[in-house]
Amino acid sequence: MRNVSAVPTRDRPAAAAPAAAAGRRGGGRAAACFVGMAVLLSGWIWVANAFFGHSKEHPHARFAGSSWLSGWVQFDASWYRDIAERGYGLIEGQQSNVAFFPLYPVLIRALKDLFGSSFGAGIAITFACGLVAVMLFWRWCGERLDPAAQKLALALLLLYPYAWYLCGAVYADALFLVSTIAAFSALERDRTLAAGLLGALAAATRPVGPAVVLALAIRQIERRGALRTIERTWRGRTWELPVGISWRRLQPRDGLVLVSAAGFVAYSGYLWWRWGDPLLFASVQKYWKQPSGPVTWLKLHLAGIILLKFKDRWLYIIGCVLQGALAMGALLAVPRIRRSFGWGYATLVAVSLAIPVLGSKDFQGLGRYLLAAFPLFAWGGLWLAGQSRWTRRGLLIASGLTLLLWSHLYGRGYYVA
C-alpha cells in the first residue's frame, strides 16, 4: 500500500508546474470572453424569440421586462418565480415546486425588487454566477495545466453546446457551478471552513449536492496524504484502487468540510418538518413521469419513443441521445480525470452525473447538469492539447455550432435540455 500525493502527476504536462503562476493570470481576458459570448447569445436568443415561431408544445413564460431578455425565460423559470413569490407548496397528485432546491429562488426573492421582477433577478443572478464561475475555472486550470491546455479548457466550457445556461437562463446551474468551484478552490488553499460553507451553498442549490459533499471530503483526505491505495494490473493496464484511510494523518479541522452537507440536510429537514417526507423533492418526480425503477434506469421510455414516435419526436430524440452520449462519455473519462487531478475530482464528476443518469427516464437535462463537472472540461483541454490542429479546430467549431443551434431552439421554447 502507498499514500496518494495531493495531486497525481500522471497525464499532466511537464511544463504545468513552472507555468502555473503565469496560467493564473489572464482572468480578465477569460471574463471578457465570457461577457462577449453572453452578449452574442443574448442577441441570438432574442432574434430566435422575437422573429421565429414559438413552440406550441410548451407555453411561454412571459417576461414583462425588456424584450431583449425574454428569450431567457423558459420552462423551469416559472417554477423558480413561483417559489420566489409565493413560497413552497405541495399539490397532492400533481407537479409541485418542492422538486426545486431553495438557494436560487431565495436569491431571486432577495433581488427581485432591485431588478424589477423575479425573472429579471434570475437573469442577473445567472449571468453574475456564470461570470465568476468562468474566472474561478480559469484560475483553477491555471494551477494545473499549461497555458495551451488552459485556453482549450476554457474554450470547451464556453463553446459547450449547453453553455447558454451560464449566461442568462433562469435556471440554477450557474449558481451550482460557481459555488462548487469556489468550494474546491477554498479547499485547495486549506480554508476548510470556507470550503464547507461554500459546499453547503452548492448542496442547497441542486439535488446532486451530496456529490459535492463526498468529493470535498475525499479531496481533503487526498490532500493530507491519508488515502491508502493499492495497484493492480488487469489486461496489461495498471489500476489504482483505494483501500482505506490513514486516520492519523487527518487533522480535527479537516472535518469542517462536512459542513457542506448542511445545505442538503437543511432543505430535507424543512420538507420533513412541513410534509413528513425528507426526500419529497425526489418523491414528486413521478408527476413529471419520472418514476424510480427499471423503466427509468434502463431508459425504456426513451426506447419506446424512438421505436414508435421517431417521425413526430425526432428533435426531442436527437436532443436526448446527444445528452446521453455526452453523459456516458463523461463517465468513461472518470479514470483519466482521476489520474490527472485526483480521486476527489473524479468523484465529483462520477457521482454528480451518475445520480441524474440513473434518475432520468430519457437523459433530458443531462446536458446542463454536466456543466457542474468542471474537471471534465479541464481534462478535455489537456487531452485536446495533444491532438492535431485540425482536430482541435473541428471539435471546437462543431461544439460552437451546436451551441448556436440549441440556444436558438431554447429561445423559441423547444425543450432541448
Amino acid found at 171:
Y
Residue labelled with grid coordinates 492539447: 385
Q: Is the residue at 187 inside a domain?
A: yes
Set of cell numbers at residue 80: 423558480
Q: Is 266 helix (H, G, I), strand (E, B) or coil?
A: helix
Ramachandran angles phi, psi of 59, nearest 5°:
-65, 150
Residue 417 maps to a domain:
no
Question: Which pLDDT tens digits describe the chain residue by residue (417 residues)?
Answer: 333 333 444 344 433 444 445 455 667 899 999 999 999 999 999 999 888 877 766 665 566 556 678 889 988 999 999 999 999 999 888 899 999 999 999 999 999 999 999 999 999 999 999 999 999 999 999 999 999 999 999 999 999 999 999 999 999 999 999 999 999 999 999 999 999 999 999 999 999 999 999 999 999 999 998 887 777 777 667 667 777 788 888 888 999 999 999 999 999 999 999 999 999 998 898 887 777 778 788 888 888 888 888 888 888 899 999 999 999 999 999 999 999 999 999 999 999 999 989 888 888 889 999 999 999 999 999 999 999 999 999 999 999 999 999 999 999 888 888
Domain assignment present for 27:
yes
Is residue 195 assigned to a domain?
yes
pTM for this model (two decimals):
0.90
Q: Is residue 416 included in any domain, yes or no?
A: no
Q: Which of 194, 171, 218, 215 is nearest to 355 (CA)?
A: 215
| 176 is a domain residue | yes
Domain count, the chain: 1
Q: Return the amino acid letter for 349.
A: V
Domain that residue 388 falls in: 2-411
Residues 192, 220 contacting (CB under 8 angstroms): yes
Tell me whether residue 141 is in a domain.
yes
Which residues on neighbouring strands pair with residue 237, listed in sequence order?
Answer: 234
